[in-house]
């Protein structure tokens, strides 16, 4: 994922002691994801292979494999003889993705309220507290890591593999938008207030209320990003 693993520490069962060696293309893909999310690689940008090879200290072979991985995530478009371009979401794309995310996250938080262990709820509460610390410090990167970590932890606590797979792919496609929205002080404050409400409902195991509030949060995000998309198109 784009952000550090914020899930609870695993138990030391024998299978958990296996050492994971990510391939070089996977490492490169993760770095490119970070650059897309934080706006270093902007939507609509054609990627320069030579510059990226120099920056990341890799050859073109792992870079191109990383391109294919990101294209499968919906983050890049690859065109023969032109290379790779960062996907630029249209207004309809934004509306459709946030509509589906609202349904998925609504179901996730409702099922999490029913199925999460006390340890999982405590982990979500800790992530939320970390998010608030980042907000008070004005640290957007720390805030965003904990904010997205909260959403991801909720999706995991739902214990619904089909939901998780669909959520992960769609969430990746709008992380850059969600990160950028925090550069707007009013939108950032509104997102924090939304989180306070739906996390509070979840921790009380009020699934119905938590679902209503998180879906409202996603509607607010959709409205904001549609307005930004319209303003950009008019420039």
Rounded-to-integer distance, Cα 158 and Cα 66, Å: 30
Handedness of CA 102, 104, 110, 116 (dihedral sign): negative
Which sign does the torsion angle of CA 45, 47, 48, 51 carry?
Answer: positive
What topology does CATH give the domain 91-234? 1.20.120
Of the candidates 35, 33, 30, 67, the one whose C-alpha atom is nearest the C-alpha of residue 49 is 67
**CB-based contact 141:220 (threshold 8 Å):** no
Report the candidate in 75, 72, 93 with the shortest Cα–Cα distance to residue 34.
Answer: 75
Torsion of CA 143, 144, 147, 153, to 10 degrees: -120
The domain limits of the chain are 17-86, 91-234
Residue among 179, 180, 123 at smallest CA distance from 152: 123
- Topology (CATH level 3) of domain 17-86: Arc Repressor Mutant, subunit A (1.10.10)
Q: Is 83 in a helix, a strand, or coil?
A: strand
Residue pLDDT tens, the chain, 235 long:
444 445 444 444 444 455 455 799 999 999 999 999 999 999 999 999 999 999 999 999 999 999 999 999 999 999 988 899 999 999 999 999 999 999 999 999 999 999 999 999 999 999 999 999 999 999 999 999 999 999 999 999 999 999 999 999 999 999 999 999 999 999 999 999 999 999 999 999 999 999 999 999 999 999 999 999 988 777 6
């Amino acid at each position: 994922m784009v952000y550090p693993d914020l899930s609870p520490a695993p138990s030391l069962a024998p299978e958990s002691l296996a050492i994971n060696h990510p391939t070089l293309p996977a490492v490169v893909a993760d770095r490119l994801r970070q650059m897309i999310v934080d706006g270093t690689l902007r939507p609509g940008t054609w990627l320069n292979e030579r510059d990226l090879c120099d920056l990341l200290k890799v050859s073109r072979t792992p870079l191109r494999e990383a391109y294919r991985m990101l294209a499968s995530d919906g983050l890049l478009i690859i065109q023969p003889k032109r290379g790779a371009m960062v996907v630029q979401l249209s207004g309809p794309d934004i509306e459709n993705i946030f509509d589906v995310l609202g349904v998925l996250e609504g179901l996730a938080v409702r099922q999490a309220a029913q199925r999460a262990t006390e340890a999982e709820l405590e982990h979500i509460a800790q992530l939320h507290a970390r998010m608030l610390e980042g907000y008070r410090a004005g640290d957007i990167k720390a805030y965003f890591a904990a904010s997205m970590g909260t959403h991801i932890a909720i999706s995991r606590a739902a214990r619904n593999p089909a939901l998780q797979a669909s959520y992960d792919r769609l969430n990746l496609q709008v992380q850059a938008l969600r990160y950028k929205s925090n550069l707007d002080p009013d939108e950032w404050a509104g997102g924090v207030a939304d989180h306070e409400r739906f996390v509070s409902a979840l921790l009380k195991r009020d699934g119905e209320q938590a679902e209503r509030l998180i879906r409202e949060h996603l509607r607010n995000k959709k409205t904001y990003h549609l307005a930004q998309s319209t303003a950009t198109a008019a420039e």
